[in-house]
Chains A and B, each alone.
Chain A
């Protein structure tokens, strides 16, 4: 009798627990889930509503029978007042539960980011399914258009592209890896500014899709893509990426950064400014610069900068205006053949070195003063170095760094000999 009661209790307990945990099991069951790979958020003009776009993985593309051709991603959009509301509506619409654990990128349109996005970023950061390493993009077009144009035949699996594209920052410096967790931290940080990847649609994105027809004859149109001059010389790093890409099967590109003050988008960083940002953040392994040839201004010279040692930054707060001193330690090599028979090898290197330093100093100063004077946003987090000079938090708060940064002065220095070698030497050079 005692054993029977014991078994009865055990069986009843097991049944109760099976029942209690079944709802969680079913909700997490792969058959009952739809995986979102990207999320796009736009603001509906003159309305409080958001347009939330969900991009889903096309599971057919992973099956054995799928063709080698790339399959179109599935994109659905919901109009709702908030993101949680949009998720609820979407769950009801698709009849399955959305799962955001494979969401690789979150896209905000510039128009929406201008109004402040802390609430939305806070919700997404605290959502247990979304990983803090998910990338954040602000687009100068609609987020839905960016998502629609992100597919490419170069990458069969779109999630892989979303995973990999920010790593190009390591060898170009034209973009940066901005994970959601870090972006949220920066939005909350009243001393620092925040940045996200800047996404755009290339100028001829829609016409590109038709250009692969075999009988179509290609004409290459020349465009002036350089957007800035430096000391009356073209700045080859400061180009318009959208128009620079004249032929390509991916309509969207990610070059430059979007800058935030508090939780509001306030402006962009160009490609060269993004390179400056990345160098100051120590995020670039190597990159190639094109500058005007100091021996012949009608020509260009390509310099590969690599082996970057940690930069030294020191902040002088003894005066009312902080002075930020930055010292770079770079190594570079020229990758062109130089036609300069008149100068010795050492003199050639010296002249190239001076030209490179002048170029970099100008670019860095222009970038740094833009962040302080124009954007008033310490996106490189110099305040963390300034904090070293204070003993307590209240001392630092009394110093009022955000106001001080707006008037900060910058000094940029480089190591003695940046350019170490000419990779290809002209015959006769000594």
Chain B
């Protein structure tokens, strides 16, 4: 019997997934695509994210303590549950592979220039596998320990860079036009990537009835984090951001100097981020294993740890070319996020509620 999770552990777990994504890519992509209007777009995305989370949490309240798989089983039987489950497994495996690749790329560039990428990905995969074998206790407790530090680091980065900021970078206020910034720009809601995992948590919660509270706190915290990430990058860089392979948030940290005494703060931030990224890899793998266990009726998911990691290891290695990585980061992951985080859960919730109402009317 697994330990039930406290609300704080769930919020920090959702946060670490979003933070990992934002630090590695999302915040940078948002500023690159929307440029001067990105701060305004990030505010809009945050408001929209909070609103959608609220709606979805309210809908899920009809099925307290049930996760998305249980609700889809209620709606369409075992077939739908298996179909949805495999869909999410593939989606989470892609995210796992993407995280592995991006983390390994950054670590190779910064720390291990002469080590082949295959060994760095393998090391991260093995570390993830070992932690996963300890079960959920270590994974969620680690996240709740690290996230407060990583979260408040963004404020430190913002304050540290203030003297280098150019606040006029928010002009022209509409960027490349209203449609591009605020209609097309809304697809950048994938900065709320932690939300994809929210509806797999209910059966693991100590207080499943507080799912709305958890969702709202997560989305508000995530919105604030995105706004600060985007503001830091936008105020610091103009065009040069488009030319670097490194995550822009990391480059921004390299500018921070508190006098001549506190220099090279990036080492401390990288240490925190690497811990966070490993934690994000673990949470991702945990849910892949849980979904697989659920749809295959396995009593123990441990034998699936290394097959899953081998799959993501293979996919991560396959992303050799920048074009493939760009396609996965900028296009495919956005579409998959919208489908698996908003469209699929909403359809399942609405369908299941209708079925529930119909059933209650029959009696």
Q: Which residues of A contact B (CB under 8 A)?
A: 13, 16-17, 20-21, 23-24, 27-28, 122, 125-126, 128, 131-133, 163-164, 179, 181-182, 184-185, 188-189, 381, 384-385, 387-388, 390-396
> 8 nearest interchain CB pairs?
A384-B168, A20-B119, A24-B112, A23-B114, A387-B171, A390-B172, A24-B115, A24-B114
Q: Are A388 and B168 in contact (CB under 8 A)?
A: yes
Q: Are B243 and A126 in contact (CB under 8 A)?
A: yes
Q: Are A396 and B172 in contact (CB under 8 A)?
A: yes
How many angstroms between the C-alpha atoms of A164 and B257 in the bound complex?
Answer: 13
**List of B residues within 8 angstroms of A391 by Cβ:** 172-174
Asked if B41 is at the interface (CB within 8 A of a chain A CB), the reply is no
Q: Number of B residues whose C-beta is below 8 Å from A?
A: 40
How many angstroms between the C-alpha atoms of A17 and B126 in the bound complex?
Answer: 11
**List of A residues within 8 angstroms of B173 by Cβ:** 391
B325 to chain A, nearest CB (A): 18
A382 to chain B, nearest CB (A): 10
Asked if B302 is at the interface (CB within 8 A of a chain A CB), the reply is no
* Interface-central residue, B110, B115, B123, by most chain A CB under 10 Å: B115
**List of B residues within 8 angstroms of A184 by Cβ:** 240
How many angstroms between the C-alpha atoms of A48 and B116 in the bound complex?
Answer: 35
CB under 8 Å from chain A, chain B span 147-169:
164, 166, 168-169
- CB pairs A–B below 8 angstroms (22 shown): A13-B126, A17-B122, A21-B112, A21-B115, A23-B115, A27-B114, A125-B240, A128-B113, A128-B246, A132-B251, A163-B260, A185-B237, A188-B240, A189-B238, A384-B168, A384-B171, A387-B171, A387-B172, A388-B168, A390-B171, A391-B173, A392-B174
Across the interface, B111 reaches (CB within 8 A) one of A17, A24, A164, namely A24
Interface string of B235-274 (1 = CB under 8 A from A): 0011110011110000100110100100110000000000
Q: Are B240 and A185 in contact (CB under 8 A)?
A: yes
Known: A20-B119, A24-B114. A185 touches B168 (CB 8 A): no
Across the interface, A27 reaches (CB within 8 A) one of B113, B119, B264, namely B113
**List of A residues within 8 angstroms of B46 by Cβ:** none
Please, which residue of chain A has its CB at the minimum distance from the CB of B246? A128
* Interface-central residue, A131, A182, A184, A392, by most chain B CB under 10 Å: A392
Across the interface, A188 reaches (CB within 8 A) one of B116, B239, B246, namely B239
Q: Are B171 and A164 in contact (CB under 8 A)?
A: no
Across the interface, B260 reaches (CB within 8 A) one of A126, A164, A179, A185, namely A164
By secondary structure, the A interface counts as helix
**List of A residues within 8 angstroms of B36 by Cβ:** 387, 393
Known: A185-B239, A384-B169. A393 touches B112 (CB 8 A): no
How many angstroms between the C-alpha atoms of A391 and B169 in the bound complex?
Answer: 13
How many angstroms between the C-alpha atoms of A393 and B180 in the bound complex?
Answer: 11
Asked if B35 is at the interface (CB within 8 A of a chain A CB), the reply is yes
Asked if B109 is at the interface (CB within 8 A of a chain A CB), the reply is yes
Q: Are B116 and A20 in contact (CB under 8 A)?
A: yes
How many angstroms between the C-alpha atoms of A122 and B242 in the bound complex?
Answer: 12
B292 to chain A, nearest CB (A): 24
* Interface-central residue, B112, B172, B239, B260, by most chain A CB under 10 Å: B172
B102 to chain A, nearest CB (A): 16
Q: Are B113 and A181 in contact (CB under 8 A)?
A: no
Asked if B175 is at the interface (CB within 8 A of a chain A CB), the reply is yes
Please, which residue of chain A has its CB at the minimum distance from the CB of B180? A392
Q: Are B240 and A181 in contact (CB under 8 A)?
A: yes
How many angstroms between the C-alpha atoms of A395 and B174 in the bound complex?
Answer: 10
Known: A17-B119, A27-B114, A387-B168. A393 touches B126 (CB 8 A): no
Asked if B77 is at the interface (CB within 8 A of a chain A CB), the reply is no
Across the interface, A394 reaches (CB within 8 A) one of B169, B176, B251, B257, namely B176
**List of A residues within 8 angstroms of B263 by Cβ:** 133
**List of A residues within 8 angstroms of B164 by Cβ:** 182
How many angstroms between the C-alpha atoms of A387 and B264 in the bound complex?
Answer: 34
Q: Are A384 and B115 in contact (CB under 8 A)?
A: no
